[in-house]
Structure 1
Amino acid sequence: MTAQPRFFCADAARERGDALAGTAPYGSVWILVEYRGGWPPNGYDGLDLDPATKSHVYAAAQRVRARILLIRRHGRRPVEGPKRWAVLHGERDGAHRQQWGTWDDDQDLAAIADALDAPGETGCPPVLLVCAHGLHDTCCALRGRPVARALGDRWPELVWECTHIGGDRFAANVVVAPDGVYYGNLDADASLTTVEQHLADRVHARHLRGYTDLTPAQQVAVVAVLESAGPAGRRDYLVERTVRDQDRWFIRVSGGPAGLSTYDVEVRSRREPATRLTCHGRFRSSALSYEVVSLREREV
């Protein structure tokens, strides 16, 4: 009997030409927990922590729709001192707030719940999260770890490997938090260029999955504008209006800074044929994708 070739979801997605834009999950609050041991397939939920503390943090996260991610430095290199945790908030006006702490005992993590309601510090550099969660999905490890290595060599204080962030088939995935920007289909070279431009407040469309404060259709509209008009700052374009008519969206994207135009974008959704979307998924799933029907620059 001939053995079946091993399935890799990222390879299959590239062969199918799966649409990248519009795939960033919603969220503006991130909880990061440094965990230097092996990561369970289900991340934080699978950790053997003090039950009361674990439930307390989880309930607080649910209340504000925060995503809990385990983090570590690339290569699991030895790190001295207590482990770190963080709460990151991204605001619609572009303001960022972060609060960092440390933990030795499980009970120390209870401070995360209080941090969710605390003001946090502003002016902190962004955090670069690279999904490298191999037990969750093989492609995240195979494609994510080289990207984490490349970015970590360049920006060692900003980069962390993290657990599942969604969109395994678009590995390697990088999230800039709390900016709320998802990039995908990256390799080491592309990640360096993409992140360097992002840190200079130049978001390019090529690897952009979307902004986490927008709906999928709105994300697609913004990506279309960036493809047409060229790279721009994270907050340079705002979604001014969105009207939905069944499977179509009519979205107005306005340029804030002087010299940037306003665009009317029509986006249509469609249900794709069922297929395997993850390496470890045993069943086929049908994803919803979005395409741009028209893009028109508005006359002033």
Structure 2
Amino acid sequence: MECGGSLRVSLGRAADHVPATCSAFSAIDEPLPGTAAVVHRWLCIEHPGAWGRDVVGDAPLGAELTAELDRRCNAAGFRLMLIRRPGRPINSSMRQVFIASSVVGDEWCERLEVSSAAELLDIPFENGGVGTPVTDTIVLVCAHGKRDQCCARLGRPIASGLALTFPDHVWECSHTGGHRFAPSLIMLPSGYTYGRLDLEGAQKVIEMARNGSVSQHGLRGRSCYSPGAQAAEIAIRELVDATAGELTVEASEDAFVVSHQDGRSWGVEVTASKLPPREVSCGASPKPVEILAVSRVWARNAPK
């Protein structure tokens, strides 16, 4: 089946001139808020070689090593990622590793070098404190072409362009979740995730992140939150100016509560609905997609 065939039928004329890719069809009717992959901690290992389609299943780091790293990551709430410099240059036998936490109130990122990923088995990376603290934003751009063509076609040019301006901070990365939102970017350690950005938009996102701000353009959500909490936070960010650390989100019985450090808080009601079946990845079998929308926002507390 041609990728996008089913959605082309359901959308009719709206899809007549849309390329048959999952990202092109998603952009027609699928909102971004609430679509960031839920990840609390990250283990990112430089691997310039082939990645395969599945970082764990295809075991590009070797079967035994990949299985053990995956076990440790799952036990400690980490996501195992592969990274490489745009263009895949290999200038050293040493490999960069980033360990990060995106948990609000416990955000940190550390960098270390290893000669082999196997060295990580001797390092208690789960609690941090094993590398050099990273004080600037690390940018991951999904370029995992073996996983989906949109990631390679859209992600790699963005990564290469960003690397010209931010050479020490930008990395291509393996699957981040959400091919159809390509190009997809993740800011570490905050975990703020973006999609559908052009180069200029991505540059602005990074510049704001480095200043502690959060760009609304292309924002999918903060990875440490559930999809509903992501959508709630974005709704409040559209109403007030707040740095990355000034807003927190908690779930209540019937809504989400978004709180500002200055004492203000808001209730946010988020509702879900279904869109027509579509390929969530190019060539995959069509399935319905759930989207989130904010149906109500109300002030709870004013600053004292």
Per the normalisation by structure 2, the TM-score is 0.86
Select which of 73, 78, 101 maps to 1:66.
Answer: 78
- Closer, same or farther in 2 for the Cα pair 1:151/1:44, shift >3 Å? farther
CA distance in 1, matches of 2:63, 2:146: 23
CA drift of 1:26 comes to: 1.4
CA distance in 1, matches of 2:106, 2:278: 37
Select which of 159, 170, 174 maps to 2:181.
Answer: 170
CA distance in 2, matches of 1:265, 1:134: 37
193-202 or 85-94, which deviates more: 85-94
Select which of 249, 253, 273 maps to 2:258.
Answer: 253
Whichever residue aligns with residue 259 of structure 2, its letter is S
- After TM superposition, list the pairs within 5 Å mapping 1:1-300 onto structure 2: 7-15=20-28, 17-104=29-116, 107-111=118-122, 114-120=124-130, 121-122=132-133, 124-229=135-240, 231-244=241-254, 250-257=255-262, 261-281=264-284, 283-298=285-300, 300=302
71-80 or 207-216, which deviates more: 71-80
CA drift of 1:21 comes to: 0.3
Whichever residue aligns with residue 148 of structure 1, its letter is A
1:153-188 alpha-carbon deviations (Å, 9 max, x no partner): 111111100010001111111001221111111111
1:24–1:182 CA contact under 8 A, matched in 2? yes
Percent sequence identity is: 26
* SS of equivalent residue, structure 1 residue 74: coil
* SS of equivalent residue, structure 1 residue 46: coil
2:100–2:107 CA contact under 8 A, matched in 1? no
52-61 or 156-165, which deviates more: 52-61
CA drift of 1:289 comes to: 1.2
| Structure 2: unaligned runs, 5 residues or longer | 6-17
1:28-53 alpha-carbon deviations (Å, 9 max, x no partner): 21111111112201124313444332
128-137 or 234-243, which deviates more: 234-243
CA drift of 1:241 comes to: 4.5
2:41–2:103 CA contact under 8 A, matched in 1? no
CA distance in 2, matches of 1:299, 1:31: 38
Per the normalisation by structure 1, the TM-score is 0.87
- Closer, same or farther in 2 for the Cα pair 1:252/1:46, shift >3 Å? same
170-179 or 4-13, which deviates more: 4-13
2:107–2:189 CA contact under 8 A, matched in 1? no
Whichever residue aligns with residue 269 of structure 2, its letter is E
2:194–2:221 CA contact under 8 A, matched in 1? yes
1:76-127 alpha-carbon deviations (Å, 9 max, x no partner): 12422322223222332153142423124x5334235x22244345453232
CA distance in 2, matches of 1:81, 1:257: 49
- Closer, same or farther in 2 for the Cα pair 1:34/1:288, shift >3 Å? same
CA distance in 2, matches of 1:36, 1:97: 21
* SS of equivalent residue, structure 1 residue 146: helix
Give the number of aligned pairs.
285
CA drift of 1:192 comes to: 0.4
CA distance in 2, matches of 1:64, 1:94: 15
| Structure 1: unaligned runs, 5 residues or longer | 245-249
CA distance in 2, matches of 1:27, 1:228: 26
CA distance in 1, matches of 2:210, 2:127: 28
* SS of equivalent residue, structure 1 residue 43: coil
* SS of equivalent residue, structure 1 residue 149: helix
1:53–1:109 CA contact under 8 A, matched in 2? no
1:28–1:178 CA contact under 8 A, matched in 2? no
- Closer, same or farther in 2 for the Cα pair 1:254/1:279, shift >3 Å? same
1:247 — aligned with what?
Answer: none
Whichever residue aligns with residue 96 of structure 1, its letter is W
* SS of equivalent residue, structure 1 residue 96: strand
